[in-house]
Structure 1
Amino acid sequence: MKLTICAVGRLRKGPEADLINDYLMRATRTGRALGFGTASVTEVEDKKGGGMAAEAALLSNALPENARIVALDERGKLLTSPGFADQLARWRDDGIRDTAFIIGGADGIDPALRARADLSLSFGKMVWPHMLVRVMLSEQIYRATTILAGSPYHRT
């Protein structure tokens, strides 16, 4: 199962981009033996300033066909890292080929796109900068693969 982060905005080179690339490369390496494909980022940018609806259209076009959709949203469900790993494993075991994580722009995700999500996920009650959420999500994807692989990276 491929894992794709579909996010609004372009991330410039720097420490955040380095962290994301490192975690997703690790997740791809660890996940191969577990039935996971590549973990990657697809960025979209609303250059015309159409707001959340335009961002939602761009995100929708970036989603892999028939992917499970996970919306990163402050109103979403709080999961533990093992719970997140279990969810990914269930989808993989159910034969799902793609899972897409959507991260909106500064105003969040358009309600119509958010309603299409199979899971709405929150990283807590605080609001996080959307660029930092990419780093946090990338790390959690990597952590999920290590949990499923039985690696000592995740300690309880």
Structure 2
Amino acid sequence: MNPGRIRILAVGKVRKSWVREGLEVYRRRMPGLSIVELRDTDPVREAQAIRAELRSDEQLITLSEEGRTFRSRELAHHLNQSGSDRLAFVIGGADGLDPALRARAQWQLSLSALTFPHELARLLLLEQLYRAQTILQGGPYHRE
């Protein structure tokens, strides 16, 4: 898993300073990872903007409460075996993702059975991606 080949396409802006600070911690730890913020409108327009941002060589992964849940080690190995060098994680807005976009995803990820604000979901996703990276590299960050 190469953080330089991971993008997060997120609907909405991060307004809370403590979330921005947390995101910056993980961005420094994962140089090359990029986050694209998209305008918060309605699911259909958001899906159009997401499709316009997607690269043809990226594997689309949407975050959804209906998605698959993983333990951290399972997620690390799943990402490592994804079959693609480039991954695009999509976090929708308050009204969720357009069903057609979700159907286009190679797989859906659920961070929890709970629902989180998009800002917090973004922070949780970055933490789990960093954790997956350290698991795959054999680093000391992840402890069981």
TM-score between both structures, scaled by the size of structure 2: 0.91
How many Å separate the matches in 2 of 1:146 and 1:109?
30
Out of 22, 35, 42, the residue aligned to residue 41 of structure 1 is 35
Distance 1:12 1:126 in 2: 21
User: Residue 62 of structure 2 corresponds to which residue in structure 1?
Assistant: 71
Question: C-alpha separation between the residues in 2 aligned to 1:78 and 1:138?
Answer: 16
Tell me by how many angstroms 1:18 deviates. Answer: 1.6
Residue 103 of structure 1 is matched in structure 2 by: 91
Q: Find the partner of 1:26 among 19, 29, 41.
A: 29
Runs of 4+ in 1 over 2 A off after TM superposition: none
TM-score of the superposition, structure 1-length normalised? Answer: 0.85
CA–CA distance in structure 1, aligned partners of residues 51 and 89 of structure 2: 11
Q: Secondary structure at the match of 1:152?
A: coil
User: Is the contact between residue 143 and residue 153 of structure 1 (CA under 8 Å) also seen in structure 2?
Assistant: yes
**Secondary structure, counterpart of 1:140 in structure 2:** helix
**1:3-152 matched pairs, under 5 angstroms:** 3-12=6-15, 14-28=17-31, 38-46=32-40, 49=41, 51-91=42-82, 94=83, 96-152=84-140
Counterparts of 2:85 and 2:24, CA distance in 1: 22
1-side partners of 2:119 and 2:18: how far apart? 11
- Can you give the 5+ residue segments of structure 1 that lack an aligned partner in the other structure? 29-37
Structure 1 residues 13 and 128, CA, compared in 2 at 3 Å: closer, same or farther? Answer: closer
Q: Which amino acid in 1 is paired with 2:36?
A: T
The alignment of Structure 1 onto Structure 2 pairs a total of residues equal to 141
1:66-85 per-residue CA deviation (whole Å, 9 max, x = no partner) reads 21111100011011111111
